[in-house]
Amino acid sequence: MERNMMWGALGLGCIGWLAALLLTTSKRPQTSLSSEVSSRENSPRVWGVSRPFWWLAFLLPLGVWLATLPTTPPFSSGQGWGRGFLLGGAASLACALVILRASSRAPESNAPLRAAATAPLFAALICVGVPLLWMRASVIDALMGVAVGWIAVAAVLLLGVWAEKGDSPSASATSVLLLNGAAFAATLCGVAALGVYRDFAQADVARGTNSAVALVLTAGVALALLSGVLIQEIASSAASLRARFDPFLNGLNLLLCLGMPLGIGILLGLRIFDDLALIYVIGAGSALGLLLWWLAWDAARESQNGESGLRSSVAAGVVVALCGFMLAFQILQGFGVGLMLLAAWPSSILALPSFAEESQPSNSTSSRAAPFEAAQTLALLLSFVAILLISRLFATRFRADLRGAGLDDHFALFGFVGGAVAPVLLASLWFSARERGAAASLPRLLGLGALALALLGAMLTLWGAKVVPAFFAGLALAAAGLASGFAPRIHSGAVALFSLAVALTLAQWTHHFAPFAEMARAQRLQFLAWGVGATVLLILIVEITARLASGARGRKTDLAAPSEGAS
């Protein structure tokens, strides 16, 4: 039965992604906001992103997969992770095409934008279903590879959008959708992995049942969202009908997104588990999504009126999300947290506005000016809970390495502060570059990836796994936006993506660095000295390459510009 559930979710994922693609390619009138991409046919950009970023997003998953093909150690153990990285990177690239196409067309309705936001949900079903069905021998590594590959490609394209567009409305929309899709993919991979571990603890449940339940719940959530988009598309064919029944359509969409997960929870909870725990966590997730939506929307409206309500909303949302985490954890532990998060996810997509709403003046009193801020805040808060979920996966996977690790010593203090500062530091180093072109941005992006791995390796070598639990808490707060304050939307999205990437890296590779912490102090210092030297050399090479590329681009621009007085 569990394999039939997985097959059904996999098939629905393929059909749903194609439906989302078709809904975003419908012909719609263009607005003035589309002028920023109207000249893309005559420029080396594809939907507002430079071609070098597209090439990197395409070649990165392929290169990682090829690097894990050798059968000799240490590559042999990473083949499952490499296949997952390729699968997740390809899915992220496919979803980015849908998202960038929808955001660059600047539609009058928010239906295409919501349709593009549902594409990652269906693609995540495919990416998680494939390892669960055909890669059982290395399913955990494959799921982690899917999540890391997805986030890596999303980060490349997000930074590529900023390099060309800055913080324009379409760039902000792309930032929200890319972050939302990447965080959801990481969440589903984490829930499926926790379901695999939970199967071993339940003797009366067939292997794969818990992961299949997560896939079915995701399929229900995605199907409810897509059904709402289809209803909006049908109603939008008649403008007078849509204006008259718009509140009814919004209420129907909300009812679908609440009723579908609860119905699935009742069916699966009573038939498979013979327990009400599944219903409780799904109901808590629906309530959590509504409450976070209300907090974010109200504070975003205050922000549009010139009041400082966004930061307090994020703080209140963090407290509410943390309460939901504790409630679901007491019911079904980490697996329950994941199911609660999946049930709460529709709120971040229902909060998406259209570009027509976003383009209203900031001093407008209309309540439609706020939803994009609300969608950004919701994505950050859900990323906060997703990192807490990954921390539970880390604690489950490396339980033996965490014996004796407490949260009451100086290691916890260092880990918490380091986790809160590291993603903000990485994002600020990239956004502080004066040149936003691809020639200068791509080398710095690669250098930041190497710097992040070097910092994590140094931390694990010096102190081992005992510093990691508090480090996860700091990462979660950084993803929620508390450390970035009132930064632009695309900056906050980059910080959240860096936080998710670092969390998944720790959940995958801690056991490779943990043995170094057992070495003698002199050996560790020697190892760190070589690592620091190699990192500094790499950063110098990257910076010199970026400056040379930026200078060559500037000289080319000067030569192409006509001299004064020329005809």
- In tens, the pLDDT along 128-175 reads 999 999 988 889 999 999 999 999 999 999 888 877 776 666 777 888
* Per-residue pLDDT band at 409 (split at 50, 70, 90): low
Token pair recorded at residue 487 = 């930064």
Q: Is the pLDDT of residue 498 over 90?
A: no
Token pair recorded at residue 374 = 């609300």
In this predicted structure, what is the pLDDT of residue 508?
Answer: 85
Q: How far is CA 76 from the centre of its chain?
A: 28
Rounded CA separation 491/90 (Å): 24
In this predicted structure, what is the pLDDT of residue 363?
Answer: 46
Average pLDDT over residues 490-494: 78
Which amino acid, 79? Answer: Q
Rounded CA separation 117/99 (Å): 7
Average pLDDT over residues 343-365: 66
Q: Is the pLDDT of residue 27 over 90?
A: no
Rounded CA separation 359/456 (Å): 41
For 425, counting Cβ atoms within 10 Å of its Cβ (0-12 exposed, 13-18 middle, 19+ buried), the class is middle
Contact (Cβ atoms closer than 8 angstroms) between residue 296 and residue 316: no
In this predicted structure, what is the pLDDT of residue 47?
Answer: 64
In this predicted structure, what is the pLDDT of residue 325?
Answer: 92
* Per-residue pLDDT band at 561 (split at 50, 70, 90): very low
Rounded CA separation 388/507 (Å): 12
In this predicted structure, what is the pLDDT of residue 190?
Answer: 95
For 335, counting Cβ atoms within 10 Å of its Cβ (0-12 exposed, 13-18 middle, 19+ buried), the class is buried
* Per-residue pLDDT band at 447 (split at 50, 70, 90): confident
Rounded to the nearest integer, the mean pLDDT of the chain is 78
58 phi, psi to nearest 5 deg: -80, -40
Rounded CA separation 144/122 (Å): 18
Average pLDDT over residues 313-332: 86
Contact (Cβ atoms closer than 8 angstroms) between residue 120 and residue 187: no
User: Which of the listed ranges 154-168, 233-247, 258-272, 386-400 does the model predict with the highest average pLDDT?
Assistant: 386-400
Q: Which of 111-115, 268-272, 367-371 has the lowest mean pLDDT?
A: 367-371
Average pLDDT over residues 202-225: 87
72 phi, psi to nearest 5 deg: -90, 145
User: Which of the listed ranges 383-387, 411-415, 562-566 does the model predict with the highest average pLDDT?
Assistant: 383-387
In this predicted structure, what is the pLDDT of residue 304?
Answer: 65
Contact (Cβ atoms closer than 8 angstroms) between residue 451 and residue 535: yes
38 phi, psi to nearest 5 deg: -70, -25
Average pLDDT over residues 453-459: 80
Q: Can the peptide bond before residue 74 be classed as cis, meaning omega within 30 degrees of 0?
A: yes
431 or 2, greater pLDDT: 2
Q: What is the DSSP letter of 270?
A: I
Secondary structure, 3-state, 341-355: HHHHCHHHHHCCCCH
Q: Is the pLDDT of residue 26 over 70?
A: no
* Per-residue pLDDT band at 102 (split at 50, 70, 90): confident
541 or 139, greater pLDDT: 139
In this predicted structure, what is the pLDDT of residue 386?
Answer: 94
566: left (phi > 0), else alpha (psi -120 to 50), else beta?
A: beta
* Per-residue pLDDT band at 37 (split at 50, 70, 90): very low
* Per-residue pLDDT band at 408 (split at 50, 70, 90): very low
